[in-house]
């Protein structure tokens, strides 16, 4: 079974972490049967961590986990911290494979999303 | 004429600021004639500021500026700093109107973008 794991930075603001949980709920609702487990993890300041979330997915039966980094730029968190946390998860759960997708800011559709949103909020420009 | 202004936080990492400039280039290429001016601004650590970018758009002939906040959560930057900077720009350029679109994390299509990306990177889940 395949799992989808949205990974965000984590914030002292509980509302920001709540936004990540709400987005995960949306993903879960839309994933249908294509991902058997959908969850989230944080790098800092909130739980669960990536290893904790991968453990939960593994217990649920996941054998492949796709990590979606919810980050805007290729900073240290994307380049080093997420791979480091993924490595820990892999050591603890060798039965699972983990793949990391591009981070949000590098996703092919982000400029389309921005432009579509701009047009929707500026109707006469459409 | 309408202008589109992508507003990011700004980073000490020049590569992160460069990512914002590259994304702005993509937006400019896709906007076609729908926005006569497309630019970017930063809240901190990089130039131009929102008032500087609005001034540039105004000189180019813009009378309406749509701000796209390139942020993931409704923290202080989205709730207070961007409106404060927009207010400064409006005082300096009363001939221009400014509207602020939802920030990226609150855009209606963000979960679709994430799921589409997940499916593209996990082909057997499709």
Model confidence pLDDT, tens digit, residues A13-50: 999 999 999 999 999 999 988 999 999 999 999 999 99
Q: How far apart are CA A8 and CA A28, in angstroms?
A: 16
* pLDDT tens digits along A60-86: 999 999 999 999 999 999 999 999 999
C-alpha distance from B40 to closest chain A C-alpha (Å): 13
Rounded mean pLDDT, A99-120: 96
Q: Of B23, B108, B125, which has the smallest distance from its Cβ to A34's Cβ?
A: B125
Give chain B positions within 8 Å (CB) of A122: 2, 4, 35, 64, 66, 99
CA-based radius of gyration for chain B: 16
**Quick one: pLDDT at residue A125?**
55
Residue of A nearest to B33 (CA): A125
Q: How far apart are CA A21 and CA A27, in angstroms?
A: 10
What six digits make up the tokens of A25?
């709920």
Q: How far apart are CA B81 and CA B84, in angstroms?
A: 5
Q: How far apart are CA A16 and CA B72, in angstroms?
A: 8
For the question of whether the overall pTM of this predicted structure is more than 0.80, the answer is: yes
CB neighbours of A89 closer than 8 A, spacing ≥ 6?
A: A50, A51, A54, A55, A65, A96, A98
Helices and strands: H and E segment counts in chain A = 5, 4
In the sheet that holds B2-8, the strands lie side by side as: B37-42, B2-8, B64-69, B97-100
Q: B81-85: long-range contacts at Cβ-Cβ below 8 A with a sequence spacing of 24 or more?
A: B81/B43, B82/B7, B82/B43, B82/B50, B85/B41, B85/B43, B85/B49, B85/B50, B85/B51
**Between B96 and B122, the higher pLDDT residue:** B96
Helix axes A50-59, A82-92, angle to 10 degrees: 40
Rounded mean pLDDT, B99-119: 96
Dihedral over Cα of A120, A126, B2, B7: its sign: positive
Record: contact A68-B114, CB cut-off 8 A: yes
Return the SS3 of B42. Answer: strand
Residue of B nearest to A74 (CA): B16
**Quick one: pLDDT at residue B125?**
55
Whether A64 and A42 have beta carbons less than 8 Å apart is answered as no
Record: contact B35-A121, CB cut-off 8 A: no
Record: contact B115-A27, CB cut-off 8 A: yes
Residue A91 CB: number of other CB atoms within 10 A? 9
Phi, psi dihedral angles at A52 (to 5 degrees): -65, -40
């Amino acid at each position: 079974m395949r799992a989808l794991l949205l990974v965000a930075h984590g914030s002292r603001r509980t509302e920001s972490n709540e936004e990540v949980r709400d987005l995960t709920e949306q993903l879960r609702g839309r994933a249908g049967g294509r991902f058997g487990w959908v969850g989230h993890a944080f790098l800092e300041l909130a739980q669960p961590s990536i290893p904790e979330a991968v453990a939960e997915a593994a217990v649920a039966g996941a054998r492949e986990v796709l990590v979606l980094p919810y980050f805007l730029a290729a900073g240290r968190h994307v380049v080093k911290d997420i791979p480091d946390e993924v490595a820990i998860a892999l050591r603890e759960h060798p039965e699972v494979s983990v793949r990391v997708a591009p981070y949000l800011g590098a996703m092919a559709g982000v400029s389309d999303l921005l432009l579509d949103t701009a047009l929707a909020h500026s109707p006469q420009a459409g």
